[in-house]
Amino acid sequence: MAEINASIGTDKRLWRQDIAGSRAHVTMLGAQGIVAGDDVAAILAGLDTIEAEYAAGGLVENPALEDIHMHVETRLAELIGPAAGRLHTARSRNDQVATDFRLWVRAACAEVDTGLTALTSALLTRADEHADTIMPGFTHLQVAQPVTLGHHLLAYVEMLARDRSRFADAAARMNECPLGAAALAGTSFPIDRAMTAAALGFARPTANSLDSVSDRDFALDYLAAAAMAGLHLSRLAEEIIIWASQPYGFVTLPDAWSTGSSIMPQKRNPDAAELVRAKAGQLLAAFQHLGVIMKGLPLAYSKDMQDDKAPVFAAHDTLGLCLAAMTGMVETLVFNKAPMRAAAASGFATATDLADWLVRAANVPFRQAHDITGRAVKAAEAKGIMLDGLSDEDLTAIDARITPAVRSVLSVEASVASRTSHGGTAPANVRAAIAAARTRL
């Protein structure tokens, strides 16, 4: 029973929040005349001592004391005697743990924001360096149209901006204080919930005592945002892995972010990127883990909810590690311009530019321009050359409306420079988007 019942091994991580919650609670009990001033002072002094002890030497786990709340309260009784027993007036471990965990998850959201911001800054720096570096843009992982590397990196900046907004949104939504809901029904003591809420930096007290002790939406909100962030990091990791593969050669991983092989001396394996990709599995599963714990629970508290912390703590540690590793990789990746440009010029990536030119310069309906361009691609393919390798005669033979003026759009540089529509890949757009993203940051 002791082994299955105890949670101290996990919830000891809440000790700072538990002490903060107790300080706010007992201060309020004093202000409301529920506990006498000298007892309040003794309790606050005891809490200071416990905080100093835990900060200096950690916490000695005693499974018989179940959880962090009982550890703090028992230590308080050792330090100050029976007055310690007054701390738990008008409070239950149910509202206590809900408060502690909310405080922890709220702080976790802020920590993730710092990590997301650092990675965003690294991406912006690299995007700025490569605002006009040409690379192939892909659909179906087939070369589609040339894009700029800066533009490609900025796609991840957008994803991370949405991630930041999800964590900010979750933090704002969870910013209500459950303390004072007591076991489930509220209390008959004249407590001041607004006072404890304010002392702990919450916007307001929660509205319904049953919901207060049985809600773990705040943890699920965190995990949902973490799952999505992990998914984004995994996609970037996957691209780094592909780009680092020799047939691509778009990037070289620095020694610090690659590993060798025990048998093949030439290997530089992208292990860190592969592990970021793998750890997204844990982040996606953590939401599932807690969601399945919660989905069948009747109101209000059930002990199942004690198992809420492990997936959140583990996900938070993993997400922090992934963000740090990804930031390090993005900062130090060596981008190889020549293979990227060569790949961008392959696969008739400027075919769309030829079709668009026919529409613009010769007023050809787009569908017809698409057919004509298809014939030009076949002709180039038959000769084993790129579109811009076709002679003027070749082009005129395909369609009389194709004049030598078309050459201005057939190069990859001309192609990307022309993509100036809102959100497009032109270097000028990329520079403006970087400036806008820096302002948002």
Residues in contact with ligand ARG by the rule CB under 6 A: 7, 11, 67, 93-94, 97, 301, 303, 305-306
Q: What are the tokens at 407?
A: 């050459």
DSSP SS3 for 142: strand
Query: What is the Cβ-side half-sphere exposure of residue 133, based on CA atoms within 13 angstroms?
Result: 20
| Of 361, 357, 365, nearest in space to 376 by CA | 357
- Distance in Å, CB of 426 to ligand ARG, minimum: 54
DSSP element (H, E) containing 324 = helix 309-332
Neighbours of 348 (CB within 10 A): 19
- Distance in Å, CB of 292 to ligand ARG, minimum: 17
Q: Residue 204's beta-bridge partner residues?
A: 176
- Distance in Å, CB of 25 to ligand ARG, minimum: 15
- Distance in Å, CB of 70 to ligand ARG, minimum: 8
278: Cβ contacts below 8 Å, ≥ 6 apart: none
Question: Which CB atom, from 261 or from 302, has the smaller least distance to ligand ARG?
Answer: 302
- Distance in Å, CB of 88 to ligand ARG, minimum: 12
Secondary structure (DSSP) of 73-86: HHHHHHHHGGGGGG
d(CA 144, CA 25): 62
Is the peptide bond between 300 and the residue preceding it cis, with omega within 30 degrees of 0?
A: yes
Question: Which CB atom, from 71 or from 130, has the smaller least distance to ligand ARG?
Answer: 71
**Do 250 and 336 meet the contact criterion of CB atoms below 8 Å apart?**
yes
Residue entry with tokens 């509202």? 95
DSSP SS3 for 137: strand
- Distance in Å, CB of 97 to ligand ARG, minimum: 4
**Do 371 and 165 meet the contact criterion of CB atoms below 8 Å apart?**
no
d(CA 208, CA 408): 68
Residues identified as active-site: 140, 261
Distances (CA, A) of 312 to 10, 11, 47, 65: 11, 11, 26, 23
d(CA 411, CA 145): 11
For residue 298, what is the DSSP state? P
**Do 258 and 297 meet the contact criterion of CB atoms below 8 Å apart?**
no
**To 10 degrees, the CA torsion angle through 305, 307, 312, 314?**
180
d(CA 93, CA 375): 75
Angle at 34 between CA 30 and CA 40, to 5 degrees: 35
Phi, psi of 202 (to 5 degrees): -85, 155
d(CA 256, CA 70): 45
